[in-house]
Structure 1
């Protein structure tokens, strides 16, 4: 496909497709086809540069509070924070857990704090952590007795 020089210039300047189409009086399909023909990296909604990794996409929307919670400023699915990268959506707590614990979560993740929407990896427990906590609770009870 032969790409018009003016379209190529605007695509390389990371101008949104709809703006290019409006400015140059061409269809968005033409702009998208030119984008593919030039083999440019995938665009991120909002006109920003694509994130290098899923973790970078998480960090772009995670804002740490002084009290250890992490507020999510990115997209949500209902109340679940979502990280979008390379055309896929991943729950932000799974990414945060991996960054904090250095491994993927086993089984279902459950938030351990009471801040709705918190996206701090330290504030989530997977099956392995919950099982370890139950074992520790049993050992504590065996040593010190049941709390009254």
Structure 2
């Protein structure tokens, strides 16, 4: 059967209200996640009661909270579209022979969000982490046949 919850109904309602308000008002605004350690610290801060992480997990499950299952994304695979369309020079010819430019293009992106980590939310509600953003870079280098070394 297990132990009874040490929080009475009023305290449970107060905890639910605090959890629904989000983690930012309680000092964890940088990534807005509810981790077991943060919920445990919140319980201690609000009620001066010490809970273990496991007890906090049981309490959250009883309140209808759970960590969302990770979404799997399908990897993109396949041939490159320019290779399939025949956009390459014939075998044995060089850019110098065709008086063509050679261009190298590179793109890179960096997410400014914190690394993936577990967070808790009510069942059926996906937590939204705001802020952060993305940094995108693109570089293009071209070599002219007129400036190519002999």
- TM-score for both structures, normalised by structure 2: 0.24
The structure whose residues are more often helix, as a share, is 1
Rg: which structure is higher?
Answer: 2
Higher normalized contact order (CA 8 Å, seq sep 6+, divided by chain length): 2
- TM-score for both structures, normalised by structure 1: 0.24
